[in-house]
Structure 1
């Protein structure tokens, strides 16, 4: 397969469908952290590639896709060990954002978002811990979905922070996104495709750039239904900054527990921003500060799951703005990451499903509008979106 967008780590990797099913005729790519029999994952880092073996079997999610009739076409690039939201990789290069060639694609599921946006495949699988499916989907102008935590098996997928890791997916066509959802969620039930209460997250909207806010608020009419009550409120009882700080601390501790031994043994070469993040993660202990953050996580889960129940949803921007330019300073990268995680931490801490819907702002840049639903209301959310949207802007 031609890879003029640098989306693929292994463009030659192909696997034919195992059976016929709901995904007949669709092609899909996987982030290079999913096990594919006979393939060795790099997870965005050549030292990882050199110290790991070929997979003996497909990841559980890959197997489900193949059994549903989809054809695997390639493994896509990722940020190093998935610990970035940028999509820039010092070793393998940065996948080219098809909509904004001078801007980052977002990460860490960068190649998956680019492969879908560029039309190389119909859908792509990624992983989402702190925003790694939602953010590149928004930057590249495609639909992206992070499911409820724990509802899809992570078997055969390289972890980052298991307490927060999920499998996510992207598509240009909302119908494809929904069909993949029904396959991976393994739920054939029908759900009411409506929400009774729609919460406009005031605190989330305050974070975003003016162009993004104006464009997305112009599209809020698509949320109106005959019976929905629309309420405006702050989602975080503390602040989104407090929530984000707690998430980053808990995530970092999980990451070091997951990969610290390998890093200390192998001493891999990381890009400067990734290295700095791992160095910080190594200092985190399960002390009083960690315990306060963990208690907040439990509180946030209870608060949002009670608030939304089965028929409530939260509406907010996916990111503060469109994709930032390539080649920013480390300080600029971290500032963007900080603001972005104040939005992405909501689903991350609570374990709730989030859908990002692509729009184009007044300057022609792709941005995303997000809907967060109650726990295990994944298919309700997907069906709701399918009734309102057709395809992305590519």
Structure 2
């Protein structure tokens, strides 16, 4: 019997979560399973909050449900909750000044990561079988890493974004979080549309320049994992992917994201004089100051980066890197200036797939300094299914290790 949770042990749910489940079809590939969704998906007759109570109060009930939700319901899964996210999705931390902070079930001392924080917490706490979130600059991949989950950021455009609140549309994607690799693959197969270039991964390239920026515990986990799995993996090549240019790549991503925010979320914030939480307020102020000239320069660099990455990532090739370069911050420290460096170095790991519109999966591979950590694989455009298959294969290897 599918029901909404009567208890929220990890504070994953918004106050306006569902009172009754939205039941899925009785048959289908994921029939009988439950899922939760981040507070940015349209659901017919309900309002969306986008992580902010003023946004929720001003919203009109949706006329129709987002197609991604409809697809899952049609495949048999039931929607049982609406999850907390970072305010207006503008963080990779996993906090919300208005709704509170979800608890990381796998490492309670630390934040979950964000902005799909409630979705990650609920999945890791087994409140649902899987969850939906969004990933613009790492909002699926970061909490997947910190909460010990599988996370997919798909090729840009391969999962329908209709009915999903936009933030930076040229980067925005719908993402998936799950504990079980086979289910993770099944949900991905259910939602992915468009060109499927599914070929086996036969070449792995470790981004040694990205690894070099990581904390020692993360660096060690990468090498230990690759060594343990080496008999079953293609030989791992070592290469610099960005080198010192990674700083310019990261800056270009943040510049474009901020400029696009001027057309999506910033107008509402200005018009309603929204009281933003710490950290979020400062980032909105920075976004408001991005000039068209700066945005165009960043887009020019983005085209160069995209061509470079796509030249490397031919079908059958994947780049390997740690999902996140550091362990997460401790949860009792408020967002603010102290987290600028954390966000900065995290974006160096997450910006590659976003800039080029490429798919990336984060696979839970162990712990770094007492917290779960993920190893990521970036594939070629349309190689999402190959990455999902690869994640299942790695899961089998890790279980037998």
Matched residue, 1:118: 125
Matched residue, 2:168: 161
Matched residue, 1:376: 382
The answer to whether the aligner puts 1:389 opposite 2:366 as a matched pair is no
Q: Secondary structure at the match of 1:12?
A: coil
Q: Secondary structure at the match of 2:19?
A: strand
Q: Which runs of 5+ in 1 are unaligned?
A: none
Matched residue, 1:294: 299
> Distance in 1 between the 2:398 and 2:93 partners?
21
The answer to whether the aligner puts 1:50 opposite 2:66 as a matched pair is no
| Cα pair 1:313 1:372 within 8 Å, conserved | yes
> Distance in 1 between the 2:165 and 2:341 partners?
27
Q: Secondary structure at the match of 1:183?
A: helix
Alignment partner of 2:316 out of 297, 311, 323? 311
Q: Which moved more, 1:9-18 or 1:368-377?
A: 9-18
Deviation at 1:102, TM superposition (A): 2.2
| Cα pair 1:3 1:11 within 8 Å, conserved | no
Q: Secondary structure at the match of 1:359?
A: strand
> Distance in 2 between the 1:26 and 1:188 partners?
27
Cα shift readout 1:234-283 (whole Å, capped 9, x = no counterpart):
11165211110110001000011212221221111110210111011111
Deviation at 1:209, TM superposition (A): 0.7
The answer to whether the aligner puts 1:269 opposite 2:275 as a matched pair is yes
Matched residue, 2:111: 104
Cα shift readout 1:21-73 (whole Å, capped 9, x = no counterpart):
11112110000101112221111101100111111221010000001011111
Alignment partner of 1:195 out of 201, 209, 234? 201
Q: Secondary structure at the match of 2:378?
A: strand
Cα shift readout 1:296-319 (whole Å, capped 9, x = no counterpart):
111111111121111110000011
Matched residue, 1:77: 84
Matches within 5 A, 1:164-243: 164-186=171-193, 191-192=198-199, 194-221=200-227, 224=230, 228-236=234-242, 239-243=245-249
Deviation at 1:290, TM superposition (A): 2.3
> Distance in 1 between the 2:229 and 2:18 partners?
39
> Distance in 1 between the 2:205 and 2:397 partners?
25
Relative to structure 1, is the Cα distance of residues 13 and 75 closer, same or farther in structure 2, using a 3 angstrom cutoff?
farther
Relative to structure 1, is the Cα distance of residues 18 and 244 closer, same or farther in structure 2, using a 3 angstrom cutoff?
same
Matched residue, 1:338: 344
> Distance in 2 between the 1:244 and 1:132 partners?
15
Aligned length: 391
Q: Which runs of 5+ in 2 are unaligned?
A: none
> Distance in 2 between the 1:223 and 1:302 partners?
31
| Cα pair 1:175 1:390 within 8 Å, conserved | no
> Distance in 2 between the 1:148 and 1:82 partners?
20
> Distance in 2 between the 1:391 and 1:14 partners?
36
Deviation at 1:221, TM superposition (A): 3.9
Matched residue, 1:33: 40
Matched residue, 2:362: 356
Alignment partner of 2:147 out of 135, 140, 146? 140
> Distance in 1 between the 2:166 and 2:133 partners?
12
Matched residue, 2:25: 18
Q: Secondary structure at the match of 1:97?
A: coil
RMSD of the alignment, in Å?
2.0
Deviation at 1:390, TM superposition (A): 4.8
Matched residue, 1:256: 262
